[in-house]
Amino acid sequence: AQSVTQLGSHVSVSEGALVLLRCNYSSSVPPYLFWYVQYPNQGLQLLLKYTSAATLVKGINGFEAEFKKSETSFHLTKPSAHMSDAAEYFCAVSLSGGSQGNLIFGKGTKLSVKP
Amino acid sequence: DAGVTQSPTHLIKTRGQQVTLRCSPKSGHDTVSWYQQALGQGPQFIFQYYEEEERQRGNFPDRFSGHQFPNYSSELNVNALLLGDSALYLCASSLEQGRKNIQYFGAGTRLSVL
């Protein structure tokens, strides 16, 4: 069975500091992996996705994530945090792709950015 | 280009009642998925509709049912509401052809069961 674990329900960084949000997955077959962001009172917006092409995936708003099969990880990073990055971030896995397969989400990590 | 739209935005019901939530997919999309997001949790997959049929289902009881119309819009019905059904219900649409593999989410319907 597939599952996603996000380490740290709450991460706080200073503006301009590195953002690192951790995600580990469990899957018996090569997975499709996603990061979504949710701003207050809004739906989910796709940041980036991994679909077995390049292991380093670049997304929107300066975020990127690296797929590491040996560590079963797909951590999200951004070199320099902005106040506007404050939101909740969800890592998700799908076996057969986002359209045919359902997404299994982690519990989310709330990112706070201090001035 | 309109994105995924859901109605209503908020809803208050009492235990035992029935509720219907609606979703219009992004223009050109033909697949609709529904998720339940309880407070402080990640979204959980309820079911997915394609070609007016339920294609996949998550671990939700039969009280949860759905429908997809010929114009690809969808409804989620919940019968015999329980307090635990209080949550944000998210609809996501995607395009089956070409395996675009991206689900676009609406802003959700927040359901409160009293």
pLDDT in tens, chain B (114 residues): 679 999 999 999 999 999 999 999 999 899 999 999 999 899 999 999 999 999 989 999 999 999 999 999 999 999 999 999 999 999 999 887 755 568 899 999 999 999
Q: Which of A44, A102, A106 sits opposite B56 (nearest CB)?
A: A102
Q: Which of B40, B56, B105 sits opposite A44 (nearest CB)?
A: B105
Identify the DSSP state of A84: G
A14 CA to chain B: closest CA distance, Å?
23
Strand B19-24, strand B74-78: pairing: antiparallel
Calpha distance B111→A98 (Å, rounded): 25
Reported in sequence order, the residue ranges of chain A that DSSP labels E, i.e. its strands, are 3-7, 10-14, 19-26, 32-38, 44-50, 56-58, 64-68, 73-78, 87-94, 104-105, 109-114
Q: Which of B31, B41, B90 sits opposite A44 (nearest CB)?
A: B90
> What pLDDT does A95 receive?
67
Interface contact flag, A106 B40, Cβ < 8 Å? no
- The helix (H) or strand (E) run that includes residue B35 is strand B31-37
Strand A10-14, strand A109-114: pairing: parallel
> What pLDDT does A101 receive?
64
What are A11-32's pLDDT values in tens digits? 999 999 999 999 999 877 778 8
> What pLDDT does B5 receive?
95
Coil, helix or strand at residue B83: helix
Strand B10-13, strand B5-7: pairing: unpaired
Strand A3-7, strand A10-14: pairing: unpaired
Size of interface A-B (CB pairs under 8 A): 67
> What pLDDT does A54 receive?
82
Q: Which of B64, B26, B73 is closest to B45 using CA atoms?
A: B64
> What pLDDT does A2 receive?
79
Inter-residue contact B50 to B31 (CB < 8 Å): yes
> What pLDDT does B90 receive?
96
Calpha distance B64→B47 (Å, rounded): 9
Interface contact flag, B94 A99, Cβ < 8 Å? yes
Interface contact flag, B40 A102, Cβ < 8 Å? no
Interface contact flag, B43 A44, Cβ < 8 Å? yes
Calpha distance A63→A20 (Å, rounded): 10
Inter-residue contact B16 to B80 (CB < 8 Å): yes
* Percent of chain A clearing pLDDT 90 (strictly above): 69
Calpha distance B98→A4 (Å, rounded): 26
Omega cis (within 30) before B8: yes
> What pLDDT does A40 receive?
86
B108 inside 8 A of chain A by CB: yes
> What pLDDT does B36 receive?
97
What are A26-73's pLDDT values in tens digits? 877 778 899 999 998 888 999 999 877 788 999 999 999 999 988 999
A95, A102, A109: best mutation site toward chain B, by most B Cβ within 10 Å?
Answer: A102
